[in-house]
Amino acid sequence: MTLWFMTSNAGKVAEAKEYFSHLGITVEQFEFEAIEPQADDIEIVALSKIEQAIPHLPNPSDQLLVEDAGLFVGALEGFPGVYSSYSLETIGLHGILKLMEHLQSEDPVMDGKLRNAEFRAVAALYQNGQTIVAEGVCPGRIAHQLDGEEGFGFDPIFIPADLDENGNALQAGEIGVTSTHGATFGGISLEEKQAYSHRRRALTSLVSKLDRLG
Ligand code: IMP
């Protein structure tokens, strides 16, 4: 089975391919320039993109996946959020770090709270005339400086929260069985990122919704 993944982001394609390969599903990149609506909700953005792309599918029976994500920083009231792409292109990673310069503490728990942030992803799958939507969240914090060269986008400034034995995220400062030991997503491999990833969580939720539909 081939799944068309509509994105121009090679990093996202690599993560989706890795995820779906374990399910025996082949992912192919679908290049289509959708107009991004001005909305403060990434689900609205993902659904709009899927609607725009459906008429351009090679076959009407094909499956189409759209996934939209953003970085939401607590101290910045959710910024950059739906403006993540634009912010990355304009103020960049250094700009985000600059906005947060005054937010730091010697106490690691307090520091994690001051710099808390989360990645959110919404995955929408179109098949047989129906669209199914699922969300995934990855809590964590913003690093004090850039770290690592893996991944893409905000990966070099985002440190995911540790996970407990069930894969659930812990509070800032809590040590879990799964930990990057302070490394950002930019400092770990794609396979390691999957344990924490908002994208992996959204896709897992999507697949379980599909299973329930039979
Ligand atoms: P998009 O609109 O879903 O493509 O993503 C919005 C912005 O967030 C883009 O600049 C991406 O590079 C960034 N982004 C999305 N997902 C991730 C991620 O997993 N890690 C780092 N940056 C991401």
Residues involved in catalysis: 68
Q: What is the mean pLDDT of residues 56-81?
A: 93
* CA atoms within 13 A of residue 102's CA, in its CB half-sphere: 3
Contact between residue 95 and residue 80 where contact means Cβ atoms under 8 Å apart: no
Tokens representing 139?
A: 């809590």
How far does the centroid of ligand 1 lie from the alpha carbon of residue 31, in Å?
A: 17
Q: Write out pLDDT tens, residues 142-169.
A: 999 999 999 999 999 999 999 999 999 9
Q: Residue 213: is its pLDDT beyond 80?
A: no
Nearest CA to ligand 1 atom 13: 153
Where exactly are the structural domains of the chain? 3-213
Atom of ligand 1 nearest to the CA of 15: 19
Average pLDDT, the chain: 93
The one-letter code for the residue type at 102 is: H
The candidate with the shortest Cα–Cα distance to 120, out of 45, 30, 29, is 45
**Helices 198-213 and 10-21, packing angle to 10 deg:** 50
Residues pairing with 71 in the sheet: 119
Task: Tell me how far apart the 2 most distant CA atoms of the chain are, in Å.
Answer: 57
Q: Write out pLDDT tens, residues 32-50.
A: 989 988 888 999 999 999 9
- Point out the least confidently predicted range of 63-72, 81-90, 147-156, 167-176: 167-176
Residue 1 banded pLDDT, cuts 50, 70, 90: low
Decide yes or no: CATH 3.40.50.720 for domain 3-213: no
Contact between residue 146 and residue 96 where contact means Cβ atoms under 8 Å apart: no
Contact between residue 84 and residue 71 where contact means Cβ atoms under 8 Å apart: yes
Residues with CB under 6 A from ligand 1: 9, 68-70, 84-85, 88, 119, 151-155, 185, 199
Nearest CA to ligand 1 atom 7: 85
Q: pTM for this structure?
A: 0.92
Q: Which whole-number Å values give the CA distances from 80 to 19, 170, 214, in the listed order? A: 26, 23, 37
